[in-house]
Structures are given as C-alpha cells and as structure tokens.
A = this chain, B = another copy of it.
Amino acid sequence: MFDQDEKVRTHLDVQTNVQSKTSSKLVSLNLQTIKVACSNCNLRELCMPLGLSSAELDRIDDMVASRRKIKRGSTLFRNGERFSNLYAIRTGFFKTCVASEDGRDQVTGFQMAGEIIGLDGIVNDNHTCDAVALEDAEVCVMPFDRIEDLSREVNALQRHVHKIMSREIVRENGVMLLLGSMRAEERLAAFLLNLVQRLHARGFSQSELVLRMTREEIGSYLGLKLETVSRTFSRFVEDGIVEVKQRHVRIIDTDALKDIVNPRSSH
C-alpha cells in the first residue's frame, strides 16, 4: 500500500519525537538533568510569548517549577483532582476527556508538544476532565499561582495567557461546528487536516502522520462510533484520497480532503 514502507516508517518515527531533537540536544550540551529553562527550550515559540527582553525571559524561566514524565496510558490529571498547575507539553501526545455521570465519555481534544493543558481546572480549582498520555510524555509543570504573579508584571505573558485561553475557546467552537453540522466524512477529513496542519507547524510532513490514538478515541472526539471511523477511512482509501496502514496515514490528495470539509470550494 505504501510505496516504500520502510522509508515511511522511519520518517514517521522521526516525526513522533519532537523531543528526540529537544532533549538529546540539551543532553549533549550539558549533562543529564539540565536546569529547567524556557529560555533555551526550542518549543518556546510554541508555548511562550514572543519578543521578550532577556530580563523578562529570565523571569519566565521561574514559571516552570519542574518537569514530570507521564507513561503512556497514565493520567497527568484526572476529573475531580485539585487544580494547581498548568502543563506545557514538552514531548508526547495527550487526550483530554470528560465523562457524564452515567459513564459515557467524550474525548474533548488531542494535545501535542508545545500546547498547554489544564485550563479547565481554573474555574473551580478542580479539574473537570482527564488528561491521558497516549504515548510516553514529558510536561513542564507551571504552578498557576506563579503564572498569575508573573503575568501581573510581564505584560506579554499576561496577554499570552489570555490568548491561550481564548484560542482554546475558539478551537472548541470549531469542534462544536463539526459535531453539530458535519457528516462522518466531513468530520474525519477535518480531523486529518487539523492534525497534519499542527504537525506541520512543528516541522513535520504535510502529508504523512502517525495517529497516536485508537479508532475509538477518534470516534469519541468526532462523535462517531469506531466502526464508522474505520469505514470512513476505508472509503477515503478507495477514493485514493489517503493511504492507511494501521495508524500510519499518508494524505494523497489534500485538496480532496478540503473539498470534503468545505464542499463549496470545489469551484
């Protein structure tokens, strides 16, 4: 199915490791447990404001209290746990999900390196969703008190915090549009385009990706059953839009995907 499977695999394996670049670089520069420091983190442009003075950068470094490793399958935080930190994802991949009292649950998002999670906990000082690592991960732990203290003094940080929360609101608006008014094909196409776009912003391929989540998790996020996700993938393959080999996906025809999401633009 893939022309050169090995090549794809290796390429994709590199993709998965934003961190392999990061941490190995750091380790080679210094030794072992390097001082936690945003100022020399190469994800900085993703999770921190731009254009800080070096004095401000020094202060920002204090924001990260520690790092924490999360093994695949375990949770960073859980619904009901006390909120005290936001987390910046250094490496790895997460899902967040909420549950109704009767057990149904809903994946509310997938998060990757450079993204911030934990914002749900601010309102009631309690987390209202679970954050589960879909692969071994590492996060920067940022006590929210410190963030608030610092953002009173560093305007750019204050603005940045506001933007991050607003971005999440806008993202969720988009998901609501998807869940409320799109059909299965449109949902999956939008999902793939969104994932690949975010990966591309992190330096990866525009056309190849490795799904870190199961069909069931994709389905939950998209409001579909796993069988429907699987079938829709198969249809895309039949139509020559993508190639799928388990969790490895290669997008053959990006425009076709865009047309599916947005029928009008088929000029």
Identify the A interface with B (CB < 8 A).
Answer: 98, 100-106, 108, 119-123, 128-129, 148, 151-153, 155, 158-159, 161-163, 165-170, 172-177, 179-181, 220-223, 261-265
Q: Are B180 and A103 in contact (CB under 8 A)?
A: no
What are 11 A-to-B residue pairs whose CB atoms are below 8 Å? A98-B174, A98-B176, A105-B181, A108-B176, A123-B163, A123-B166, A151-B158, A165-B169, A169-B169, A172-B173, A179-B223
A154 CB → nearest B CB, Å: 10
Q: Most chain-B CB neighbours within 10 Å: which of A106, A161, A221? A: A106
Is there contact, CB below 8 Å, between B128 and A263?
no
A45 CB to closest chain B CB, in angstroms? 16
Number of copies: 2
| Nearest CB in chain B to that of A266: its residue | B102
A103 in contact with B169 given A122-B162, A175-B176 (CB within 8 Å): no
Decide if A166 touches B264 in the complex (CB within 8 Å).
no
Name which of A122, A169, A179 has the most chain B CB atoms within 10 A of its CB: A169
Docked CA distance A265–B100 (Å): 11
Further contacts, 9 of them, CB under 8 A, given A106-B176, A148-B155: A101-B262, A102-B265, A128-B173, A148-B162, A152-B158, A168-B169, A172-B173, A175-B176, A181-B220
A180 to B263, CA, bound (A): 23
Q: Which residues on the B side are within 8 Å of A121 (C-beta)?
A: 166
Residues of B near A122 (CB, < 8 A) are 162-163, 165-166
Q: Is the CB of B106 within 8 A of A177?
A: yes
Q: Please state if A176 and B179 are interface contacts (CB–CB under 8 Å).
A: yes
